[in-house]
Amino acid sequence: MSDTGEHLPASPAGDVPGAEVPERVLADLPEFGPASYAPAPEGTDLVHIAEDYGLFIGGEMVPARSDRAAPTVNPATGETLATFAVGGAEDVDRAVLAAREAYESHWRDTPGSVRARYLYRVARLLQERSREFAVLETLDGGKPIKESRDVDLPLAAAHFFHHAGWADKLDYAFAGAEAHPVGVVGQVIPWNFPLLMAAWKLAPALAAGNTVVLKPAETTPLTALLLTEVLRDADLPPGVVNIVTGDGTTGAATVAHPGVDKVAFTGSTTVGKEIQRTLAGTGRRLTLELGGKAANIIFEDAALDQVTEGIVGGIYFNQGQVCCAGSRLLVQESVADAVISKLRRRMDTLLVGDPLDKNTDIGAINSAVQLRKITELVESGVRQGAELYQPSCALPERGWFFPPTLFCDVSPSHRIAREEIFGPVLSVLTFRTADEAVEKANNTPYGLSAGIWTEKGSRILWMAERMQAGVVWANTFNRFDPASPFGGYRESGFGREGGRQGLLPYLHLQGAQL
C-alpha cells in the first residue's frame, strides 16, 4: 500500500547508470553542509488513554471476571501505555451470551436498511476521528504515522462504508438463493493492522446480520477499545458487537465456545491449523487468513524504477509485518545486478525511527518477541551463507527496531526463503525463464499473494493464471480495497474478505431454485 511508484515521478537522471551529470551543472550548485534532520513528530495530545480498560460486553465496559490484566506497551519506547483486561473463559461466555441475546432478540430480524444505517454511521465517525485513531494505532503498534494515517484509517472507514451498502442488498448478491445470517461470530485478529483487521471482520459480519465477539491482539488492544466509543456513538444496539481483549488463552476460548456459530481468524498458519483442529467435527463454520511467503517477480523488460519502489513498498511496508508481504524477490538473471543496485540505493534513503515522525518510513517492530524472531531468522540467513545487506542507519536507542535488510545469493532451501519472517527482510532469488519463475514462486506451502512486474500484457495474464495465490498484483503491490476480495490458497487459509465473495462466509444460502 505504500506507493509503488506508478504515480511517482521517475527517479532523477543521476540514478540511471551511465547518465553522467555534466560538471558545469554541478559547479553552479551552491555548497550544502552535511544534512541535518529536523524531526517532525505528530502530536499525541488529541489521544486520551485510560490507565486501565475493561471488556466491552452487552454495550458496556465491564470489569473482567477473570481478574487478569496485562500491560500494552509502546514498542517505540518500551513504555507502558495502559493496562487492559485479559478475558477468561467466563468472560468469553458472557460475551457470547450477550451476542446470542442480541442476535435472537432483534438483530437477525433488523431490516438490512437499518443495519446499513448503523454501519454508515460507524464509517463516518471513524472518518471524523481518524487522526486520533491513527496516532493511537502508531503509539500502540509502532507503525509509521504516515501509514496509520494514510492507509489503515482510510481503509478501515472504507470497509464499513462499503459493507453498509451490502446490508440491504444481500438479495441481489447471490442469484437464486435466499441469504440468511449465520448467527454469532467469533473473530480473532492480529496485531499488524489492529483497527483495519477489526473493520475487515466486523463490517461484513454485521452487514450480513450476524452478531460478534471480537478478540483483539494481545499487543495492540487500544484502537479496538477506542472503537467501542464509536459503536456507542453510532447507537449500535448493545450486544451486537462485544470486544473481549486478552491473550492466546482468550482467543482459544473464543474459537472453542460452542455458542459461536462461525469463527474467523487472521494470524499465523500454526495457530490457524490448531483452530481448524479445534473446530473439527463441530459443524461450526471457519475461515482462516494465515501466513504467506509471497514471490515478487521481476522480468527483464519491467520499468525498473517503478519496480524498485514496488519492491520497497512490498517488503518494508509496516516493517514487513504483513502476511502478504513480497518477501521473496524473484529477479530475471539479466537484470538482477541492476535491480539490486537500485534497491540498495533506495534502501539507503529509508528513514528508520520514531513511528510518530511524519517522515519515518520504517517504524518499530511490534514486540520484543517479534524482534527476536526476525533477528533469529536473519542470523540463520547469514549462517546458511546468504549475503546480507543493511544500510548504515542509526537505530533509536530505546524500543524495538530492525533495519531494512536484503539477502542476496539466497538458495530456495534457505530458511529465509521458506519461512515467513514477518519483518523487513527481503530474500533475492533469480530465474531465467517464465516457467522457472512460476515453479519457484509456487514452491511454498503458502499461497496468499504474488507480484508480477513486466511491460508485456500477455505475460502478466499468463503468469497471473499460474500463480497459486489468492491476490496477484501486476506492476503494483500491497494494494487493498473493500471491494477487492482478499485471502489465500493452500496453507495461507481459506475464505475471502472484501467484496461479494467476502460476504459468503457470513451467510447461509438457502433454497437455490431452478
Partner 1 sequence: MSTAGGGLGVPKTYKMYVGGAFVRSESGRTYPARSAGGDLLAHAVAGSRKDVRDAVRVARGAQAAWAARTAYNRGQILYRVAEVMDSRRAELIRELARATTGSEATADPAGEVDVAIERWVWYAGWCDKYPQVLGGANPVAGPYFNFTVPEPMGVVGIASPDEAPLLGIVSRLAPALVPGNTAVVLAGERHPLVAVTLAEILATSDVPGGVVNVLTGRRAPLVRALAGHGDVDCVDLSGCDPADHDDADVAAEAERLAAETVTRVVHATVGERHWLEAAAQSPYAISAFCEYKTVWHPKGR
Distance, CA of 119 to CA of 125 (rounded, Å): 10
Instruction: Report how many residues bind partner 1 under the rule CB under 8 A.
Output: 56
- Name the minimum Å distance from CB 363 to partner 1: 24
- Name the minimum Å distance from CB 177 to partner 1: 6
Closest CA to 211 of 187, 234, 245: 187
Please give the DSSP secondary-structure letter assigned to residue 331.
E
- Report the run of H or E that residue 426 belongs to, with start and end: strand 425-431
Please give the DSSP secondary-structure letter assigned to residue 496.
-
CB 132 within 8 Å of CB 66: no
483 binds partner 1 (CB under 8 A): yes
CB 139 within 8 Å of CB 74: yes
User: Pick the catalytic residue: 42, 218, 323, 324?
Assistant: 323
C-alpha dist (Å) from residue 47 to 44, 74, 132, 192? 6, 14, 6, 20
The region of 142-150, 280-288, 375-383, 402-410 touching partner 1 under the rule CB under 8 A is 280-288
280 binds partner 1 (CB under 8 A): yes
512 binds partner 1 (CB under 8 A): yes
- Name the minimum Å distance from CB 244 to partner 1: 24
The region of 129-137, 274-282, 410-418, 431-439 touching partner 1 under the rule CB under 8 A is 274-282
- Name the minimum Å distance from CB 85 to partner 1: 30
The smaller minimum CB distance to partner 1, of residues 50 and 464, is found at 464
* One residue of 87, 209, 267, 272 binding partner 1 per CB under 8 A: 272
305 binds partner 1 (CB under 8 A): no
User: Pick the catalytic residue: 289, 309, 491, 497?
Assistant: 289
* One residue of 14, 33, 258, 281 binding partner 1 per CB under 8 A: 281
- Name the minimum Å distance from CB 513 to partner 1: 6
The smaller minimum CB distance to partner 1, of residues 213 and 288, is found at 288
The region of 126-134, 182-190, 388-396, 494-502 touching partner 1 under the rule CB under 8 A is 494-502
Contacts of 236 (CB under 8 A, 6+ apart): 118, 122
Distance, CA of 374 to CA of 422 (rounded, Å): 7
Closest CA to 310 of 428, 152, 451, 159: 451
Please give the DSSP secondary-structure letter assigned to residue 443.
-
268 binds partner 1 (CB under 8 A): no
CA angle 389, 391, 392 (to 5 degrees): 125
Residue with cell 506492476: 475
Please give the DSSP secondary-structure letter assigned to residue 319.
G
* One residue of 186, 493, 503, 506 binding partner 1 per CB under 8 A: 493
127 binds partner 1 (CB under 8 A): no
E strand intervals along 303-391: 328-332, 387-389
Distance, CA of 165 to CA of 159 (rounded, Å): 10
Buried b / exposed e across 283-307, counting CB within 10 Å, b at 16+? ebbbbbbbbbbbbbbbbeebbbbbb
CB 314 within 8 Å of CB 477: yes
The smaller minimum CB distance to partner 1, of residues 345 and 479, is found at 479
- Name the minimum Å distance from CB 259 to partner 1: 19
299 binds partner 1 (CB under 8 A): no
255 binds partner 1 (CB under 8 A): no
Distance, CA of 176 to CA of 469 (rounded, Å): 29
Closest CA to 302 of 328, 323, 330: 330
- Name the minimum Å distance from CB 118 to partner 1: 22
The smaller minimum CB distance to partner 1, of residues 10 and 280, is found at 280
- Name the minimum Å distance from CB 245 to partner 1: 27
Q: Which of residues 155-184 bind partner 1 (CB under 8 A)?
A: 158, 174-177
* One residue of 475, 503, 505, 506 binding partner 1 per CB under 8 A: 475
In the annotation, is 408 catalytic? no
Q: How many CB atoms lie within 10 A of CB 337?
A: 12
290 binds partner 1 (CB under 8 A): yes
Q: Which of residues 4-33 bind partner 1 (CB under 8 A)?
A: 6-7
In the annotation, is 323 catalytic? yes
513 binds partner 1 (CB under 8 A): yes
The smaller minimum CB distance to partner 1, of residues 228 and 475, is found at 475
Q: Sign of dihedral through CA atoms 408, 468, 498, 241?
A: negative
Distance, CA of 311 to CA of 308 (rounded, Å): 5
Please give the DSSP secondary-structure letter assigned to residue 19.
-
458 binds partner 1 (CB under 8 A): no
Contact set with partner 1 (CB under 8 A) = 6-7, 158, 174-177, 269, 272-274, 276-277, 279-281, 283, 288, 290, 445, 460, 464, 467, 469-476, 479, 481, 483-487, 489-494, 496, 499-501, 504, 508-514
Residues belonging to the active site: 289, 323
